Amino acid sequence: MKVGIIGCGSMGSMLLDKFYAAGECELFVTTRTLSKLEGLPNDINVCKTNSEVAAASDMVFLCVRPDVLKNVLDDIKSAVSPDTLIVSLNGSVRFDLIEKVLRTKTAKVIPSVTAEIDRSQTLVCYNDLVTEDDKHKLKDLLSCMGDVIELAEDELGMGSELVSCMPGFIASVFDVMCTSAMEHTSLPKEQVVSMVLNTLTATGELMLKKGMTFGEVVERVATKGGITEVGSSVIYEQFPHTAQDLFEKTLEKRAQTAEKCSSLFTDDSIERM
Ligand SMILES: NC(=O)c1ccc[n+]([C@@H]2O[C@H](COP(=O)([O-])OP(=O)(O)OC[C@H]3O[C@@H](n4cnc5c(N)ncnc54)[C@H](OP(=O)(O)O)[C@@H]3O)[C@@H](O)[C@H]2O)c1
């Protein structure tokens, strides 16, 4: 299979690395600043234009920010064949907007940074033109980064918060936790971080392997009248406000981005292929 990547920033270069390492497809790539692609292995095809990548590929990943997605779709629309699967990495631009420029087989894919260690829970959704065969091929390709989860388009926003943004939220929470712990210990910061991180991953694995709920973990550790119970109570009393605020703000930001994107797609006529 021939796979194209347009835009080689954070996500595009991660996909390129992963697909190249998996060694199961021929790769075609381009980006705005071509000098950034110097030094790639010889068996990766570097193309000069977006349309060149689209014309050469069975599947084209659009790894660009939402504000340039419309321009990229304009660049490639006359180069894609009806068999080409377009894959947008952006969750905010809806299929109906993409289809104003290019109505063809289209998927959206949201990977997580945990793909770096092959532990992504990559989200996918499809428009109505994508066939079961396309879905299998895309899922197979993405499985080199971890698990693949199919969601309805309307669930992609909250889904993205839970798997793609969550590494950032988790890192922020435990950064705060470690900073507070540092005020009460003379242990070096690296050791504090390492102890928390290892406990964090082990707790996750314990829950997944033993099928435990969060409540069951709390119950196992927080004996009545004990120290963990005191700390746990502080979290259950105070953290819900923060968590509520977080999701209200991120979902509001998501809606604003979607609104901004839709204004970029206003004057185009639908091109049916
Ligand atoms: N970062 C994440 O964790 C994450 C997770 C899931 C989804 N996403 C989505 O993935 C998309 C890409 O995000 P990113 O973080 O990879 O952004 P990024 O690092 O800014 O990369 C965007 C790339 O697009 C290239 N580009 C800009 N205009 C172009 C054009 N007209 N033609 C071809 N290439 C062009 C840029 O090229 P130059 O470098 O040459 O300027 C840059 O390499 C976004 O829609 C984002 O919402 C990101």
Give the CATH number of the domain where residue 57 resides.
3.40.50.720
Q: Domain check: are 52 and 142 in the same one?
A: yes
Q: Residue 271's pLDDT band (boundaries 50, 70, 90)?
A: very low
Q: What are phi and psi of 110, to 5 degrees?
A: -120, 105
Whether residue 118 lies inside any domain: the answer is: yes
Q: Indicate the residue type of 253.
A: K
pLDDT at 269 over 50: no
- Are 137 and 179 within one domain? no
**Which residues face 109 on adjacent strands?**
124
Task: Note whether residue 172 is domain-resident.
Answer: yes
Task: Report, as an integer, the average pLDDT of 77-92.
Answer: 95
Domain presence at residue 21: yes
Mean pLDDT along residues 106-132: 96
| Number of domains observed in the structure of the chain | 2
pLDDT band at residue 266 under the 50/70/90 scheme: confident
**Does residue 20 share a domain with residue 105?**
yes
Q: How far is the CA of 168 from the centre of ligand 1 (A)?
A: 18
Same domain, 95 and 167: no
Please indicate, yes or no, if residue 37 is contained in any of the structural domains: yes
Check pocket membership of 9 for ligand 1, CB cut-off 6 A: yes
The preferred substitution site among 29, 65, 88, 260 for testing ligand 1, maximizing ligand atoms within 8 Å of CB, is 65
Is position 144 within any domain? Answer: yes
Task: Point out the ligand 1 atom lying closest to the alpha carbon of residue 160.
Answer: 6
Pairwise pLDDT comparison (199 vs 91), residue with the higher score: 199
Q: Could you give the 3-state DSSP secondary structure of residue 266? A: coil
pTM, to two decimals: 0.91
Nearest to 264 by CA among 81, 90, 68, 131: 68
Range of the domain at 44: 2-150
pLDDT band of 134, cuts 50, 70, 90: very high
The tokens describing 9, both together, are 């920033």
**Does 155 reside within a domain?**
no
**Are residue 135 and residue 209 in the same domain, yes or no?**
no
Question: Residue 236 domain-assigned?
Answer: yes
Q: Which residues have C-beta within 8 Å of that of residue 83, sequence separation ≥ 6?
A: 58, 105
Mutate to test the pocket of ligand 1, among 14, 15, 32 (most ligand atoms within 8 A of CB): 32
Same domain, yes or no: 130 and 212 = no
Q: Are residues 26 and 146 in the same domain?
A: yes
Task: Output b/e per residue, 125-155; b: 16+ Cβ within 10 A.
Answer: bbbebbeeebbebbeebbebbbebbebeeee
- The answer as to whether 273 is a domain residue is no
